[in-house]
Every structure is written in C-alpha cells, then in structure tokens.
Amino acid sequence: MKPEAGRLVTATVERQAPFGYFVSVEGQDVLLHQSEVEGELAIGEQIEVFLYHDHQDRLAATQHEPNVTLGEFGWLEVKDVHPRMGVFLDNGIQKDLLLPADQLPEMKSKWPRPGDRVYVQLEHDKQGRMLALLGREEDFAEIAVPAGKDVFNQDIIGYVYKVIKIGAFLLTEGQHLAFIHREESKEPFRVGQRVEGRVSKVRDDGRVNITTKPRKEVSYRQDAARIYDYIKNRGGRMPYTDKTDPDIIKEKFGISKAAFKRALGKLMKERRAYQEDGWTILTEQE
C-alpha cells in the first residue's frame, strides 16, 4: 500500500543525512527531519513514525506522536487564524493542521480564536494532504452522554461547536449536549469558544440548557454593589426608586425592574440607603 499522510506506520532507518535520516516505508524513501527525531537511531532499526507533508510539500516522517490520525476525531487547540485560508490547529507535531475556511461560519467574527478548542476529524484533500473537518451534529450525538436531573443548577464548562442566530450549541466537559440562548450571555458566540456557566434546565432527552448569568443570590449582591457605587458617585442621591419605569431602569442599569428592586431592597434592609420623595439616598454613615 502506498504510504499516505496522516497514518502511523512502521519504518526502517535506511541512512543518515546532514539534515536527518531517510527511512523506508513500504519501499519508499521518506525524510525524517532531525528536528523530528527522538533519541539516537541505528541503521536498520525499525521505528514507528507519523507521516505528513512538510513545508516543501514532500511526504515526511516524525517520531512525535500526533493527537489524531487519519479518520480519527479529537479536540484540537487553535494556534493561528488566517483570514483567507482558515484556522491552524495543534495536532501535536511541528506542522499545524489546517481547518479550511469553507468549514467555518461565513461571518469571521464567529471563527475560533487562538486558544479555542474545536472537535475535528483528520482527513485528506484531493491531493492527499492532511486537513481537518469540523465535527457534524451526528458526530457529537455519537459521543454525547445524556445528562441526569442531578446536574440542574450545577456549574458547567463547554465548547461551542455550532453558532446559530438565537444562540449556540456546545458539548460540555461531561459530554452532555447543551444549548445556550444569546440572551443568556453578555458576549456573542464563536465556534471553539470555552463557555463557563450553569445548567438552567435538563431536558427529557438528556440535553441541557446553559446560562452564564449568576445565580440570583450572587446576582443581586453584585447589582446592589453596582447601584451603591452609582449613587455614591452622584453625591449620595439618585432620582430612581422602586417606582421608576422599567424601561428607564433597563436603560440606566442594564437590569430588569425586578432585579433593581431586589438590589434596592438589600441596600435598604442593610440600612445603607433609604427612599424619599422619589429619590434613593445613601444613609449619612455611608
């Protein structure tokens, strides 16, 4: 069988060269660059190597172990982004693996960034060179584990594999399929993005919904602190109370009327503020 990139094969060390070794794979000479050698090699020794195309497009070998081989799926880290070509992934060897632009969303703002992780399969292009293909919906379904009801409200980490208009689909570190609505996060989504949140719903089919919004007991403490700072920066008074129109609250503080009332209630219960004649005022000791 003709040697092809992407496979782990057994090779025989044939001869040494100034820049490495030549090894024989299925009767074909293949260059093993010196930088790809691990330890001392002896002529005639049989070694396991991974085949790839080097920067001169020659079939070459490495003793470094790849993260995925031909046909396999795996999570790979994004190393670099090329606006026209796509993104380059770390496959455990010196030459990075290309995830082509035609595998990525049309909007480049939804492309992965360096440090993100994507679930891909190693395949060949028409010339037999290695490339990565994004995992499809059915590929994630094969590796997914249904979530139990006990994960409700638990903290969770997942990676985005598909972005749609209303949100994003993820696979969590626990192998659960998940969805997060765009209103449940403060930032837009992109493929490969790491999302930290909590489970807001466990569906009957074992999929989960995620939110990045803090739990109410945490949220209202944060809101109270932010409103307190706002009043303090205005000289200790603000013309907004629990009777203020919800649209004004949303515009000024970016939170709902209910959240605003909870935060004010906390400040007043702690005697840090009080309301008078349509104003919220900090207490004198503050």
Q: Which of 100-104, 121-125, 130-134, 234-238 has the lowest mean pLDDT?
A: 234-238
For residue 107, pLDDT over 90 is answered with yes
Residue of 142, 145, 150, 158 lying closest to 205 (CA atoms): 145
What pairing do the DSSP bridges indicate for beta strands 8-17 and 28-33? unpaired
Structural domains present in the chain: 8-62 (2.40.50.140), 73-135 (2.40.50.140), 139-211 (2.40.50.140), 216-282 (1.10.10.10)
**Percentage, residues of the chain above pLDDT 90:** 81
Q: How far are the Cα atoms of 126, 171, 184 from residue 189, in angstroms, in the given order?
A: 32, 14, 11
Q: What is the pLDDT of residues 189-219, one digit of tens each?
A: 999 999 999 999 999 999 999 999 876 666 7
Mean pLDDT of 260-283: 92
What pairing do the DSSP bridges indicate for beta strands 86-90 and 97-100? antiparallel
Confidence of residue 221 (pLDDT cuts 50, 70, 90): confident
What is the model's pTM?
0.74
Q: Tell me the backbone φ, ψ of residue 260, rounded to 5 degrees.
A: -60, -45
For residue 259, pLDDT over 90 is answered with no
Radius of gyration of the chain (CA): 28
For residue 165, pLDDT over 90 is answered with yes
Residue 286: the pLDDT is 46
Sorted by sequence, the CB contacts under 8 Å of residue 120 that are 6+ apart come out as 68, 73, 74, 76, 89, 97, 99, 132, 133, 134, 135
Neighbouring CB atoms inside 10 A of 114's CB total: 13
Q: Is 259 helix (H, G, I), strand (E, B) or coil?
A: helix
